[in-house]
Structure 1
Amino acid sequence: MSMIQTGVLDLDSTNPVATTGGDTSTFTQVTFPTPFPAGSRVVVLPFVQTFNGPETPGLRIADVTPHGFRIRINEILAGAVKSDGHHTRETIGWLATTV
């Protein structure tokens, strides 16, 4: 049987764009209100709920466990345009479920 949890958080970025795989030092930890059962395979789906900045905010998810996950805004790069990584505060909704 699948389980579902949802949540919302305000998130911004004051760091350069994260481009090194495995380096989650600039990510924000999110803890599930109720942990999923041990050994669960959890999938997290994040959604930007606001439109507060002129650049497109991409979202990166890492380190998903039955207890939570890590997330950050990582501005989307377009062609030769380079992002400085800074992004204003946005409201992020998320849904986590077991598979």
Structure 2
Amino acid sequence: MSMTLTGKLTLRSDNPVETRGGNTSTFTRVTFPTPFPEGAEVVVLAQVQTFNGPHTPGLRLANVTREGFLIRMNELYGTNVQSDGTHGNETVGWFASTI
């Protein structure tokens, strides 16, 4: 039987775009209101719910566990994209489920 949890948070980025894999020092911890059962495999989907800035905010997730996950807004960055990585407040919705 699968279990699901949902939530939302306000997220912003005051830091430049993070390009080093594994560096989660600027991520925000989300703790589930109820942990998933011991041994559960958990997936998390997150999506920006608002449109408060002119640049496209990307999201990065890391360290998904039965107790929560890390999330960071990482404003999209690439060739011919003008982005400094910082981004104002946006509402982010998330959905977590066992698989």
TM-score range, shorter chain: over 0.9
Instruction: Report the Cα distance in structure 1 between the residues aligned to 2:76 and 2:68, rounded to whole angstroms.
Output: 24
Residue of structure 2 equivalent to 1:8: 8
- CA shift, 1:77, in A, is 1.8
**Count of matched residue pairs:** 99
Gap regions ≥5 residues in structure 1: none
Give the counterpart letter for 1:93 in structure 2. Answer: G
Would you say the 8 A contact 2:17–2:84 is kept in 1?
yes
Give the counterpart letter for 2:17 in structure 1. Answer: V
Q: Which runs of 4+ in 1 moved over 4 A?
A: none
Q: In proportion to residue count, which structure has more strand?
A: 1
Instruction: Report the Cα distance in structure 2 between the residues aligned to 1:70 and 1:39, rounded to whole angstroms.
Output: 19
RMSD: 0.9
Gap regions ≥5 residues in structure 2: none
The 5 A counterparts of 1:1-99 are 1-99=1-99
Give the counterpart letter for 1:90 in structure 2. Answer: E
Instruction: Report the Cα distance in structure 2 between the residues aligned to 1:86 and 1:31, rounded to whole angstroms.
Output: 24
Would you say the 8 A contact 2:45–2:95 is kept in 1?
yes
Normalised by the size of structure 2, how large is the TM-score?
A: 0.96
Among all aligned residue pairs of Structure 1 and Structure 2, give the percentage whose two residues are the same amino acid: 65
Give the counterpart letter for 1:51 in structure 2. Answer: F
